Amino acid sequence: MIDRGSKPIGRVVATEVLPASPHQFHFWTAVEAPLGIGAIVRVENGGDGRVVYAVVTDGKAYSDLATPLHDVLAAEGNPTGEAPTSRAEIRLWTAAVLRQVPEEPVQPVPLAEVRLASRVDVETALRMDAYLRGERPTGIPVGLYTAGGLSSPVYVDADFLLGPESAHLNITGISGLATKTSAVEFLIGSIFEHFPTHKGRVAAVCFNVKGPDLCFLDQPGPLTDAEKQMYVDLGIEPKPFENVSYYAPFRPDGVNLNTLRSNPELVGTVEPLVWGLREVLDYHEVLLNRDDVDAKADAFIDFLADRVVEKEFADEWGNLHRVKNFIDLERLFRAIFDGLESAGRSDMWRTHHIATIRKVRNRLLNISVRCKGLVTDDGSVSDLPFGTFEDRRVYVIDVAGMDNLGQDLVFTRIVSQLREHLERRNLGVEHVVVFVDELNKYAPQDGPDTYVRKMLLDISERGRYLGLVLFGAQQFRSQVHKRVVGNAGTVLFGRMDLDELATPGYQVLSPATKIKMATMPKGELMIRHPHFTHPVFVKFPRPAVLTGRGGVERFPPAVDVSFEDAVARQLAQLDRGVAAARVKDLIAGRPEDDVRRALLATRRARPKDVLTFFQSRLPTAVQRTEMKPKSGVSVVRPVEDPYGP
Amino acid sequence: MAHAGIRKVIVRAGGVAGGGRMATHAGAPLETPFGTAEIVEGDRIRAIPVIPREAPPGVAFLGGIQRYSVDGWFGATPVVRAHVAAAALCRNGGELVTVATRHEDFLVAPLAVLSDSEREALAAREERLYPSEPGSRRHPLLEIQLAVQVVDRRRAEVEATVAKEYREAKPGGLLVVDGSVTAHSAFAKDSRLLGIVKSHETQFLNGADVVTAMTLEPGHRSSVFAPKYERGAPVHSWYVRLWPWEGQDITHGLVRVERYATDASVSEADEISGWLMRERAPLSTPDARWDRLLYPIHRVEDLLRAKAGSWS
């Protein structure tokens, strides 16, 4: 039985010029009707029981004034003059059909009464009934549809958000309005709470590419009563993320972490992200300029990766190499150059020209300099826990402080690793949401065909089968590669720039919808989803986490300290009982690389007795002895004629 | 001589430029061109300036429409189908709200000259069937005119019924009707009924009084006079010029106000004329009579036309 719901607010009208069609119709309402762009309405034909659900896409108002000049004449040129009778005025709305019940036969919209949609109507209109009802619902709350006093949750289908039917989410909006990042944080929280267990485990990997945006997801943020009520309406608990892991590379000093989450209260929860030669060599394409590294260099790098790195390798001059890190690699290069020189063959080595070898040496060894803090010379590694990813955990990789090259490397390698583990089904979870902001930088529509862009295209087109889901954000959707945005099943729009709305991608939207998009307040989005015939507007509450700005105010980042202090502080974070003075004594006079290796090993192991473990990882200290000049050596006398007898 | 040149000559000679609208045939002869009247405000018709002022609250406006068509013939006898309707809208805070409305669809024919079977066929089709007077000699066009007189009467009767319904609903409200108040004899002595006459077919004044009344400047009214009607209660009336008529016809913007005669109908003439000046806005365009048609009456007609729908 059809729920008649609210009282009629208008009536469908059709003329030869403005006919009602199966996809669009027009209706009038009283001037004061609580209706606006984006409102969902229901038209019900009493005759055959056909019900049409539609969303308002445009509105017009006009009076019976024949020409503006007549108003001037009647007012005798006085704009403040008030006429005793108000002119007859009309509110004429245009609505786009969302759904007809029954679906067949498809017919023009009946010329019948128009009502505001009820909660049940919203469900039906957006075809949410298909995935909210039944034994295995897959609805994920994405926001509240609000119109005419109604506040009704809108759900997206997990099968179409995280795969396998369709997947990926793209969000566009002007920067600085706290919409893109907030929406993604809110949505990931909603996914974690509502993603059905029968669909498996889910985790999120978020790349923090600017400022402190994602650095405080585990800290509670302030919410108004209205926002708390929105959480209640959406069935989501307003709380920060309970399980968050933070990763950040070191600064070039190798001990201070390169993150704004460096306040002493929090920095202990940030894991260092440190890679060695193997991690880098696999993704050399990201780091090396394609114009510089040709096919010959590629072949030599492949040779190193396949035959040399982490293998026993004997050169022609009797040296046995086991290259594990950049230091070993430099040793190998030295041996090759010396060997070729001593053998008098200075042009070729194993079919590779010496110039190619020199070029590859320069480029590869330079990586550890350019990405210092992330890439170590000595092969120490601290990485994400690929293989033991946890269900409903957020992994934040803070690369905001890195240069573009480092960001590209981190992004490429981590996403590639996620894909490989998901392919092998051994990541630890079945679905991973990867959040990437500034997508126009990583996957631009124009510009060079970079490795990063190729990888993003690959995720966009094939990720849904693996459970690898891209949540991308950018300010200008038109500047992102079409195949990346085109493959996003769910699309969110925050407040938009008018220039962006003037681009061809937005031609399908009515001028009124565009104006609404250009003036949307914080916390409001337009959402497009495969189940929704037309985009709908929703409101969402602020995420219940501390914003980047709020976090930095509450937890001011620590100032970088000296090498010794940084080591002492990091060990103290693992064990508050560790005395700084004792640590400084232990590391005094030791090479910094030795200390870094020991520190990294200690952080990785997290032993009970931190100081003892740390000490055990330090190389045995060689006792310094003062060398005195030997006595009794005769002074060499100057010789006038060195060739003389 | 060019059109503009003649107008200038007339103006220079102390006259007023006319509208200069082109016509090809003389209009229909005036049926009742002259009436008589007694001046009740002073001893001659004067032009009295009026000050625009606010309309009293809760004024209602009554108007009607009529439509007809010759839908068939029995021999040379026309059968007229007609629709008449009337409505009263009350103004509340600038908004017009319908208080009473009526409509009637009917057929008109000279039943006396039709056969039994023809009458029965018409009666079976339409519940309301009104007879018109047959002409003294058979003349199809004359018989159409006689049928239209029936339509006119029915419209006046429907308007009178709506006026009564309005008065029952709002006993103390001021009601402005489109046309003469004499069509509402039930309201004799009711000073809250006001008629706005737009046509000036019957001229009640004479001599210099006519010139004064018909050449009023905008924002002026004439002295009050009492037109002599053959039947009904005594009526007081005066002219008000709403819009300048220079360059237009002499009746442009000129309305005649009617009230049943009471002491107040003279003393309140300034006040009523004042708020009629305010009723000039909004303009009732695109109606051709916009210079004399009050916007609320225009709205009444629009409402009735919209309710009547298309004529098919």
Whether B274 has a pLDDT exceeding 80, the answer reads yes
Choose the weakest-confidence range: A263-272, A633-642, B160-169.
A633-642
Q: Which pLDDT belongs to residue A421?
A: 95
Instruction: Please give the residue of chain B at the shortest CA–CA distance from A78.
Output: B281
Kindly list the residues from chain A whose CB atom is less than 8 angstroms away from the CB atom of residue B302. 64, 88
Chain A positions with Cβ closer than 8 Å to B: 64-67, 70-71, 73-76, 81, 83-88
State yes or no: pLDDT of B99 exceeds 90: yes
**Is there a single domain that holds both residue B74 and residue B166?**
yes
What CA dihedral angle connects B35, B40, B46 and B49, to 10 degrees?
Answer: -120
Q: Are residues B156 and B85 in the same domain?
A: yes
Q: Answer yes or no: are the C-beta atoms of A568 and A580 closer than 8 Å.
A: yes
Q: Could you tell me which residues come within 8 angstroms of residue A435 by beta carbon, excluding any fewer than 6 positions away? A: A184, A188, A204, A205, A206, A207, A214, A471, A472, A473
What residues of A are in contact with residue B295 (Cβ under 8 Å)? 83, 85, 87
Residues with Cβ < 8 Å from B28, sequence gap 6 or more?
none
Give dist(CA A383, CA A249) in Å, integer.
Answer: 10
Q: Is B282 within 8 Å of A67 when comparing Cβ atoms?
A: no
Q: How far apart are CA A412 and CA A459, in angstroms?
A: 11
CA–CA min distance A113, chain B (Å): 17
Q: A629: pLDDT confidence band, cut at 50, 70 and 90?
A: low
Task: Provide φ and ψ at B3, rounded to 5°.
Answer: -55, -50
Cα distance from B286 to chain A (closest Cα, Å)? 6
In sequence order, what are the beta bridge partners of B108? B80, B130
Q: What percent of chain A has pLDDT over 90?
A: 51
Nearest by CB: B282 against A67, A74, A76:
A74
Would B238 be classed as within a structural domain? yes
Option in B283, B296, B299 nearest A74 (CB): B283
Which of B91, B282, B286 lies at the smallest CB-CB distance from A87?
Answer: B282
Number of C-beta neighbours around residue A365 at 10 A: 15
Q: What is the dihedral of CA B193, B198, B199, B205, to 10 degrees?
A: 70
**Cβ contact B299–A71 (<8 Å):** no
Query: Is there a domain that residue B7 lies in?
Result: no
For chain A, the domains span 8-76+87-125, 151-270+392-496+523-551, 278-370, 561-617
Q: Could you tell me the two tokens for A159?
A: 């099968």
CA–CA min distance B273, chain A (Å): 14
> CA-CA distance, A125 to B110, in Å (whole number)?
60
Query: Does B302 contact A88 at a Cβ distance shorter than 8 Å?
Result: yes
Of the candidates B117, B145, B173, which is a domain's last residue? Answer: B173
Contacts of B282 in chain A (CB under 8 A): 65, 70-71, 74, 83, 85, 87
* Phi, psi (deg, nearest 5) at residue A173: 175, 160
Across the A:B interface, residue pairs with CB atoms under 8 Å apart total: 48
Least confident of A160-164, A263-267, B71-75: A263-267
A31 contacts on B by Cβ (under 8 Å): none
**Closest partner residue to B281 among A64, A67, A83, by Cβ?**
A83
The verdict on B188 and B43 lying in the same domain is yes
pLDDT digits over B23-70, tens only? 777 777 777 889 999 999 999 999 999 999 999 999 999 999 999 999
* Cα of A9 to nearest chain B Cα, Å: 18
Nearest CA in chain B to A83: B281
Residue A291 clears pLDDT 70, i.e. is over it: no
Q: Quote the tokens at residue A582.
A: 């004792």
Instruction: Tell which of A76, A85, A90 to mutate to test the B interface (max B CBs under 10 Å).
Output: A85
Q: Do A84 and B96 count as a contact with CB atoms less than 8 A apart? A: no
pLDDT in tens, B237-261: 999 999 999 989 999 999 999 999 9
pLDDT at A639: 52
In a shared domain, residues B151 and B51: no
Query: In terms of CA atoms, which chain A residue is nearest residue B95?
Result: A86
Q: pLDDT tens for residues A191-210? A: 999 999 999 999 999 999 88
Domain boundary (B141, B173, B205) is at B173
Q: Is residue B161 part of a domain?
A: yes
**Which of B54, B281, B296 lies nearest to residue A75, judging by beta carbons?**
B281
Evaluate if residue A628 carries a pLDDT over 70.
Answer: no
Nearest CA of chain A to the CA of B88: how many Å?
Answer: 15
Contact B283 A84 (CB under 8 A): no
**Cα distance from N-terminal residue to C-terminal residue, chain A:** 125
* Residue B282: cis peptide before it, omega within 30 degrees of 0: yes
Q: Tell me whether residue B146 is in a domain.
A: yes
Of the candidates B296, B227, B230, B284, which has an alpha carbon nearest to the alpha carbon of residue B258? B227
Q: Give the total number of structural domains in chain B.
A: 2
For residues A383 and A205, what is the distance between their CA atoms, to the nearest angstrom? 13
Q: Is the predicted pLDDT of residue A36 greater than 60, yes or no?
A: yes
The region, left, alpha or beta by phi > 0 then psi within -120 to 50, assigned to residue A442 is alpha
The answer to whether residue B115 is domain-embedded is: yes
Q: Is the pLDDT of residue A2 over 50?
A: no
Dihedral sign, CA of B299, B304, B309, B312? negative
In contact, A207 and A516? CB cutoff 8 Å: no
pLDDT in tens, A73-107: 888 888 887 889 999 999 999 999 999 999 999 99
Q: Which of B53, B14, B49 is nearest to B217 (CA)?
A: B49
Which residue type, as a one-letter code, is found at position A437?
Answer: D
Of residues B250, B241, B221, the one with CA closest to residue B42: B221
The residues facing A170 across adjacent strands are A472, A491
pLDDT at residue number A349: 87
CA-wise closest residue to B202 among B174, B243, B235, B153: B235
CA separation for the pair A564, A596 (Å, rounded): 11
Beta strands (DSSP E) in A414-514 are 431-436, 468-474, 490-493
Task: Indicate whether B167 and B231 sit together in one domain.
Answer: no
Which of A65, A75, A85 has the CB atom closest to B296's CB atom? A85
Task: For residues B52 and B188, state if they share a domain.
Answer: yes
Chain A partners within 8 Å of B55 (Cβ)? 84
Angle between helices A563-574 and A592-605 (to 10 degrees): 10
Least Cα separation, residue B135 to chain A (angstroms): 43
Q: Which CATH number fits domain A151-270+392-496+523-551: 3.40.50.300, 3.10.310.70, 3.20.20.70, 3.40.720.10?
A: 3.40.50.300
- Higher pLDDT residue, B175 or A262? B175
**Least confident among A292-296, B131-135, B255-259:** A292-296
Same domain, yes or no: B185 and B237: yes
Residue contact B94–A66, C-beta within 8 A? no
Whether A85 sits inside 8 A of B280 (CB atoms) is: no
- Kindly report the average pLDDT of chain B as a whole number: 91
Whether the CB-CB separation of A61 and A134 falls below 8 Å is answered with no
Same domain, B232 and B208: yes
Residues of chain B above pLDDT 70, percent? 99
pLDDT at A627: 63
Closest Cβ opposite residue A84 in set B55, B283, B286: B55
**Predicted local confidence at residue A396, as pLDDT:** 96
How many angstroms separate the CA atoms of A503 and A476, rounded? 10
Rounded average pLDDT over A234-248: 96
Residue B243 sits in which domain range?
A: 32-56+175-280
Residue A228 has pLDDT above 50, yes or no: yes
One-letter amino acid at A402 equals: M
Looking at residue B250, its pLDDT comes to 94
- Residue B270, classified by CB atoms within 10 Å of its CB into exposed (0-12), middle (13-18) or buried (19+), is middle
Q: For A414-439, what is each residue's pLDDT tens digit?
A: 999 999 999 999 999 999 999 998 88
Task: Name which of B24-38, B56-70, B110-124, B159-173 the model is least confident about.
Answer: B24-38
Nearest chain B Cα to A73, which residue? B283
Asked if residue B271 is part of any domain, the answer here is: yes
Q: Choose among B89, B48, B44: nearest CA to B274.
A: B48
Q: CB under 8 Å to A187, separation ≥6 — which residues? A: A140, A142, A169, A471
| Mutate which: B272, B295, B307, vs A, most A CBs within 10 A | B295
- Whether A85 sits inside 8 A of B283 (CB atoms) is no
What are B72's two structure tokens? 């068939």
Measured CA to CA in angstroms, residue A600 lies from A100, A402, A597 at distances of: 62, 20, 5
What is the predicted pLDDT for the residue at A425? 93
Length of chain A: 645
The predicted pLDDT at position A645 comes to 45
Positive or negative torsion for Cα A443, A366, A292, A296: negative
pLDDT in tens, B184-222: 888 887 889 999 999 999 999 999 999 999 999 999 999
Q: Which of B173, B205, B234 is the last residue of a domain?
A: B173
Work out the pLDDT band at A637, boundaries 50, 70, 90. low
**B285: closest CA of chain A, how far (Å):** 6
Nearest-neighbour CA in chain B from A73: distance (Å): 8
For residues A272 and A397, what is the distance between their CA atoms, to the nearest angstrom? 10
Determine which helix (DSSP H) or strand (DSSP E) holds A581, and give its type and residue range.
Answer: helix A580-587
Mean pLDDT is highest, among A397-411, A487-501, A629-643, for A487-501
- Contact across the interface for A87 and B278, Cβ inside 8 Å: no
Provide the shortest C-alpha distance from residue A77 to chain B (in Å).
12
Residue B15 lies in a domain: no
Residues with Cβ < 8 Å from A87, sequence gap 6 or more? Answer: A63, A64, A65, B282, B295
Whether B138 and B73 have beta carbons less than 8 Å apart is answered as no
Residue in chain B lying closest to A65 (CA): B285
Going by C-alpha positions, the residue among A527, A526, A523 that lies closest to residue A540 is A523
For residues B165 and B182, membership in a common domain is answered with: no
Asked if the Cβ–Cβ distance from A84 to B286 is below 8 Å, we say: no
The answer to whether residues B192 and B52 belong to one domain is yes
CB pair distance less than 8 Å for A64 and B279: no
Predicted local distance difference test score (pLDDT) of residue A641: 59
Nearest Cα of chain A lies from the Cα of B243 at a distance, in angstroms, of: 10
| Domain-located, residue B1 | no
Can you say whether residue A447 is alpha, beta or left, with left for phi > 0 and alpha for psi between -120 and 50 degrees? Answer: left
DSSP assigned state of A306: I
* pLDDT of B161 higher than 70: yes
Residue A211 has pLDDT above 80, yes or no: yes
* Residue A269: band (very low, low, confident or very high) from pLDDT cuts 50, 70, 90: confident
Same-domain check for residues B127 and B271: no
